[in-house]
Chain A
């Protein structure tokens, strides 16, 4: 949706084609949420990004918080002053916010408070595929799971109602295929957001010293009982299809429900279908009655057998003889990766003994022939990416012999040959701390690689730790002045807020100095010689050192040039070229290609960064302006 102001149309009943995440943004506007916080992360980003574009006009306060924990704390505080709030993040972001979330469940809220967790089955853009429905179980929080864009919007509205009824935050859990699928959404009425809160001191509820926490835990458990009643009556938990014979019943939720319905049709199965949209707490009576109606139950869900284990527990009381098929015991569906109509069809066929109407093996065999010599095309650093220059410098300064713990962002792609800089990461900010552990026990030169937004998000405690415990590591901060991977959101170093308002620019070098680092320098990665000399010097420093490689993201540079209709720079290979292939072998830039066995530059991709010109041993590459 190029023009997000369409989300602001007060045109009830209008049908729009919205991304699941845009639908959540529309829901935010329809239910009058006043405060929206986030730390960007795929597949959650477009929820808050959409709001950011229109926040001023909509009268909503929106911010890109420094990390998910801060985002949740701000939303929780606003809600405790009676203002409806929402905080959106990717699944692993909820790990960062979990400390706040677990106790927020005890404290509760006054205004509606929604925490959106966007999970990523198949790891399209993530380091793991954890199933965050377990956070609902762990924290005792209600959980809603949409299966499409319409439900994503409707449940955003319902989450606020449930949250205010129970005085509990509500988890709204999507997955990549819900967040990033467009579908028709029928608009409701817009609401006027309330931003005016009032803080009422409530020590017993909010000051959670042990004497207060214990009774609040009891209060929380009572709220869960009330939540069960809501779940039993919820329109989101419903039998969408009855079976004639009562032989098979399917229980499903979220994206898996869509595959299940299409798979049932493909197999022409007579199966009842119970669709669950409120998946914590589960509607025991509803599920129990559904179990009793069928001889065999198939639970179709993505990732962990979260529903299945609870359905099995319910069956013990309601229908001990019913047979339940899923992922516990025998695997009828994969527990890793995302599901598909095909995977669900295969699982259902196994349970029911139906013959598959499609010969998948035949297709696979034919397709394997095509794949045999098909080159892969994994994500790579863009042509002109400043990280490529940084990695080249890091490799040159260390002769490739240091250890390079890296971090989460575009620069995680630096591990790939020929740059091969990046030895492993765990989570946001792990580069700086892993560097310390590695250096301590190996004594080898260790350079942590981290981006600008990730530095602010999670590196500061690790950096202070390096100073305090005197770990002799170097931290290379690859500062491209944006949160690039997730869609170019601003961060504390960019000088602009999520509301589009200019603000104080927090400088990474000043933060590092403030943390007590004695060697801090800023370099331009495209000035290869200078940057290499600085990094070599940093490695000689007796304590921790920080080198900031500062150059804007290539995509922003191109966008900026296009907007200004400025001339475009491209590099060209001249007649001096000896075809030594140094440029190709050293840099792995997608604009450097072979044409009839000769090194050439794809001018449609090249943005004239000049890195190849600076590594060419024969000065055979020239960069020039073209109109």
Chain B
């Protein structure tokens, strides 16, 4: 943490994808290391299948729950279109980790328009940053035998980049605290799947 003023993570996706739990896991892990942290959440009306954004901010002087445009260190995208929607927070210094799971907005379906290609989406992202990792999160979560662990797959993928000021062990400790015991094993497996995915494959788009 030395010399680091703040570390900003934005998690973005669709209501129901487990974004708030993912943010709480990261925040709890930071707290376990004695760091100051703020985690912003979205509840209620806005959550119902709508766009959801959560920020995790780590750093001694951090007070506000949200941060300035371009100041994201990491953008954790649970859904490609929602990743685009938060690019104002990204700059060339931002690492973007994005799930390839697409959830079609009803507006597109109503207009009888297909979901844009992943290539089109990553091209847009590249105008902000070249540092993109696309994670086949749904597939990896299925391998961990639980579709609901997709959020933890993404956390694993993020941990493997070694960008966060948080140790892997702290994340595992946070998982133990926040995930029900009967699901802990699948969640740890999901974390490892995401971790290894970033380490080994890191596909280029």
Asked whether any CB of chain B lies closer than 8 Å to the CB of A261, the reply is yes
Q: Do A125 and B43 touch across chains, with their CB atoms under 8 A apart?
A: yes
Which parts of B93-114 form the interface with A (CB within 8 Å)?
103-110, 112-114
Known: A184-B37, A581-B112, A594-B114. A358 touches B64 (CB 8 A): no
Q: Beta-carbon contacts of B20-62 to A below 8 Å, as 1s and 0s?
A: 0101100110010000111111111111111100000000010
Interface pair B84/A594, CB less than 8 Å apart: no
Segment touching A, from B67-75, B151-159, B161-169, B193-201: B67-75
Q: Which of B23, B31, B38, B109 contacts A584 (CB 8 A)?
A: B109
How far, in whole Å, are A382 and B87 apart by their CA atoms in the complex?
27
On chain A, the residues within 8 Å of B40 by CB distance are: 177, 180-182
Q: Does A418 contact B (CB under 8 A)?
A: yes
Known: A584-B109, A594-B104, A604-B147. A43 touches B88 (CB 8 A): no
Q: Residue A486 at the B interface, CB < 8 A?
A: yes
Contact of A1 among B24, B63, B82, B147 (CB under 8 A): B24
**The one of A364, A366, A581, A595 that contacts B127, using a Cβ cutoff of 8 Å:** A366
Q: Which of A340, A375, A380 contacts B66 (CB 8 A)?
A: A340
A212: shortest Cβ distance to chain B, in Å? 41
| Alpha-carbon distance between A177 and B42 when the two chains are bound, in angstroms | 9
Nearest to A123 among chain B residues (CB) is B45
Q: How many residues of B contact A (CB 8 A)?
A: 60
Judge whether B114 and A363 touch: CB under 8 Å: no
Quote the shortest CB–CB distance from A560 to chain B (angstroms).
Answer: 16
Contact A374 B50 (CB under 8 A): no
A95 on the B face (CB < 8 A) = no
B43 & A2 in contact (Cβ 8 Å cutoff): no
Neighbouring B residues of A180 by C-beta, 8 Å: 40-43
Q: Which residues of chain A come closer than 8 Å to B70, judged between CB atoms? A: 358, 363
Assuming A367-B87, A374-B85, is B109 touching A124 (CB within 8 A)?
no
CB distance from A216 to the nearest CB of B (A): 38
> Within the assembled complex, what's the spacing in Å between the Cα atoms of A605 and B103?
9
- Among B46, B106, B108, the one with the most A-chain Cβ atoms within 10 Å of its Cβ is B106
With A and B bound together, what is the CA distance between A312 and B15 in angstroms?
44
B66 CB to nearest chain A CB (Å): 6
B68 and A183 form a contact (CB under 8 A): no
Query: Are A182 and B39 in touch, CB under 8 angstroms?
Result: yes
Q: C-beta contact mask, A101-131 vs B, less than 8 Å → 1, else 0?
A: 0000000000000000000000011100000
- Which of B38, B45, B69 meets A181, CB within 8 Å? B38
A453 within 8 A of B: no
The one of B31, B50, B82 that contacts A17, using a Cβ cutoff of 8 Å: B31
Out of B23, B65, B88, which one reaches A177, CB within 8 Å?
B65
* Bound CA–CA A602/B112 (angstroms): 16
Contacts of B47 in A (CB 8 A): 379
Select from chain A the residue with minimum beta-carbon distance to B63.
A258
CA distance A513 to B107 in the complex (A): 41
Whether B140 sits at the interface, judged by CB under 8 Å, is: no
Given A17-B31, A125-B44, A183-B37, A358 and B50 contact (CB-CB distance below 8 Å) = no
**Are B69 and A363 interface neighbours, CB within 8 A?**
yes
Residues of A146-198 at the interface with B, using a CB-CB cut-off of 8 Å, are: 147-148, 177, 180-184
- Contact partners of A364 in chain B: CB under 8 A: 69, 88
User: By the criterion CB–CB under 8 Å, are B37 and A367 in contact?
Assistant: no
A584 contacts B110, C-beta separation under 8 Å: yes
Cα distance A487–B51 in the bound complex, in angstroms: 18
Q: Residue-by-residue, is A486-519 near B (CB-CB < 8 Å gives 1, otherwise 0)?
A: 1100000000000000000000000000000000
Complex contact B43–A487 (CB within 8 A): yes
Chain B min CB distance to A607 (Å): 12
Interface range on chain A (Cβ under 8 Å from partner) = 35 or more
In the assembled complex, the CB of A237 is this many whole angstroms from the nearest CB of chain B, namely 18
Contacts A17-B28, A592-B109, A602-B104 given; indicate if A377 touches B82 (C-beta within 8 A).
yes
Cα(A595)–Cα(B115), bound, Å: 8
Residues B178 and A2 in contact, CB atoms below 8 Å apart: yes
With known contacts A370-B87, A596-B114, A376–B105 Cβ distance under 8 A: yes
Residues of the A chain whose Cβ atoms lie less than 8 Å from the Cβ of B42: 124, 180
> In the complex, A258 Cα to B106 Cα: how many Å?
37
Interchain CB contact under 8 A, B128 and A366: yes
Does chain A have a CB within 8 A of B81? yes
- Minimal Cβ-Cβ distance residue in A for B178: A2
Contact B50 A375 (CB under 8 A): no
Q: How far is the CB of B142 from chain A (nearest CB, A)?
A: 10
Contact with B64, one of A182, A262, A590 (Cβ below 8 angstroms): A262
- Residue in B closest to A2 when the chains form the complex, CB atoms: B178
Say yes or no: A379-B104 contact (C-beta < 8 A), given A42-B45, A358-B69.
no
Please indicate the chain B residues that have their CB under 8 angstroms from the CB of A596 in the complex. 114
Question: By the criterion CB–CB under 8 Å, are A377 and B14 in contact?
Answer: yes
Interchain CA distance A366-B178 in the complex, whole Å: 38
Q: Which of B24, B61, B64 contacts A259 (CB 8 A)?
A: B64
In the complex, what distance in Å separates the CA atom of A183 from the CA atom of B31?
9
Chain B CB within 10 Å — which of A182, A257, A261, A381 has the most? Answer: A182
Q: Are A17 and B84 in contact (CB under 8 A)?
A: no
Does A617 count as interface, using CB distance less than 8 angstroms? Answer: no
A579-608 residues with Cβ-Cβ distance < 8 A to B are 581, 584-585, 588-590, 592-597, 602, 604-605
Nearest CB in chain B to that of A179: its residue: B43
- Tell which of B48, B110, B180 has the most Cβ of chain A within 10 Å: B48
The answer to whether B48 touches A341, judged by C-beta atoms less than 8 angstroms apart, is no
State in angstroms the CA–CA spacing of A261 and B124 once bound together: 34
CB-CB under 8 A from B107, the residues of chain A are 375-377
- Across the interface, do A379 and B50 meet the contact criterion of CB distance under 8 Å? yes
B46 partner residues in chain A, CB cutoff 8 A:
124-125, 379
Are B109 and A594 in touch, CB under 8 angstroms? Answer: yes
A341: which B residues are within 8 A, CB to CB? 64, 66-68
| Distance in angstroms between the alpha carbons of A588 and B49 in the assembled complex | 13
CB of A444 within 8 Å of the partner chain: no
| Cα of A305 to Cα of B121 in the assembled complex, Å | 42
A380 touches B114 (CB 8 A): no
Q: Does A139 contact B (CB under 8 A)?
A: no
Q: Which residue of A lies closest to B70 (CB)?
A: A363
Return the contact of A486 from the options B21, B44, B178 (Cβ within 8 A).
B44
- Within the complex, the shortest CB–CB distance from A428 to chain B, in Å, comes to 14
Q: Please tell me if the beta carbons of A377 and B51 are within 8 angstroms of each other in the complex.
A: yes
Is A266 interfacial (CB-CB < 8 Å)?
yes
Give 7 A-B contacts (CB < 8 Å), ordered by A residue. A16-B31, A177-B40, A184-B37, A369-B124, A375-B81, A410-B48, A584-B112
Given contacts A369-B124, A417-B110, 16 further A-B contacts (CB under 8 A): A124-B44, A124-B45, A177-B66, A181-B65, A182-B27, A258-B63, A262-B64, A360-B69, A371-B85, A375-B105, A377-B107, A380-B50, A485-B45, A594-B112, A594-B113, A602-B103
Which A-B residue pairs are the 8 nearest by beta carbons?
Answer: A42-B44, A125-B44, A379-B50, A258-B63, A182-B39, A379-B48, A181-B65, A125-B45
B residues at A contact (CB < 8 Å): 14-16, 21, 23-24, 27-28, 31, 36-51, 61, 63-70, 81-82, 84-85, 87-88, 103-110, 112-115, 124, 127-128, 138, 147, 178-180
Interface residues of A (CB under 8 A from B): 1-2, 15-17, 19, 42-43, 45-46, 124-126, 147-148, 177, 180-184, 255, 257-259, 261-262, 265-266, 340-342, 345, 358, 360, 363-364, 366-367, 369-371, 374-382, 410, 413, 417-418, 485-487, 581, 584-585, 588-590, 592-597, 602, 604-605
